[in-house]
């Protein structure tokens, strides 16, 4: 397994608590190259796997909705009694962390949308797609080879990965994604971010077009911080050192971010 590593340096007085939430088809495993160095630097890091994915793929069900994912992360915060958390959502999990912030903001310090989706309250992922695309995805979900309809995993190259080692690492671990999570929408009671400091981390080498509209929206918000990462959509796999540095910088309470 090849990875570009460098020493992660940090002030001894700046210990942080991260909860890193993976995107569609992934699991907590995708953060392994990031979580290790952060823990070695003295931080607390949780990498939960959402219901029906990764090592919890045996729980795949047609009742696994987007709200199920929000409940997964809320329960991690509550049962582990976590506070002052830097909550990071990658890709599809941008929707998840928005729901968590709406439900339990008092346990959070900051939100980091890591090349992530952002949708208005009441809008599902399928609502944003043309009808023929939705029909194609639903047809594919019915043929995924799972007991319940699920979206087949994409090829790792579509996530921007180029290294054979990285592609092999991801391809052997991706699992079908619960269809109902794409069909259901969050009902937010508060505006996006619920008043918490929010940062959008936009990966630009190459740009992942599926999240381009979300990135543009975040960039247009006066009270959000928007920044770039010179890596691909799956940067936690391809460039874990860059991701570690970005999370430490963006998550630090001493930062001058909004």
Which residues does the annotation mark as catalytic? 91
Q: How far apart, in whole angstroms, are the C-alpha atoms of residue 99 and residue 72? A: 11
Q: Which helix (H) or strand (E) holds 79?
A: helix 66-79
What are the strands of the beta sheet with 198-203, ordered from one edge? 44-46, 17-21, 85-90, 108-114, 198-203, 224-229
Q: Which residues of 205-238 are buried (b: 16+ CB within 10 A; e: fewer)?
A: eebbeebeebbebbeebeebbbeebebbbbbbbb
């Amino acid at each position: 397994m090849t990875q570009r590593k460098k020493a992660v340096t940090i002030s001894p007085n700046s210990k942080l608590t991260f909860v890193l939430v993976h995107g569609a088809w992934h699991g907590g495993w995708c953060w392994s190259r990031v979580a290790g160095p952060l823990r070695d630097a003295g931080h607390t890091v949780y990498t939960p796997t959402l219901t029906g994915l990764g090592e919890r793929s045996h729980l795949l069900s047609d009742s696994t909705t987007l709200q199920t994912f929000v409940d997964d992360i809320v329960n991690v915060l509550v049962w582990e009694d976590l506070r002052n958390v830097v909550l990071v959502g990658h890709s599809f999990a941008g929707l998840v962390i928005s729901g968590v912030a709406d439900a339990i903001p008092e346990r959070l310090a900051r939100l980091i949308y890591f090349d992530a989706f952002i949708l208005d309250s009441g809008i599902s992922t399928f609502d944003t797609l043309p009808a023929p695309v939705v029909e194609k995805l639903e047809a594919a979900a019915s043929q995924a080879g799972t007991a319940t309809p699920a979206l087949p995993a994409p090829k790792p190259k579509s996530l921007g990965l180029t290294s054979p080692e990285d592609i092999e690492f991801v391809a052997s671990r991706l699992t079908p994604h619960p269809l109902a999570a794409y069909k259901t929408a969050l009902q937010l009671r508060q505006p996006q971010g619920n008043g918490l400091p929010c940062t959008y981390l936009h990966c630009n080498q190459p740009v992942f077009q599926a999240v381009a509209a979300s990135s543009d929206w975040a960039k247009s918000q006066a009270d959000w911080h928007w920044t770039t990462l010179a890596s691909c959509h799956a940067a936690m796999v391809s460039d874990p050192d860059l991701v570690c540095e970005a999370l430490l910088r963006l998550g630090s309470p001493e930062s001058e971010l909004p």
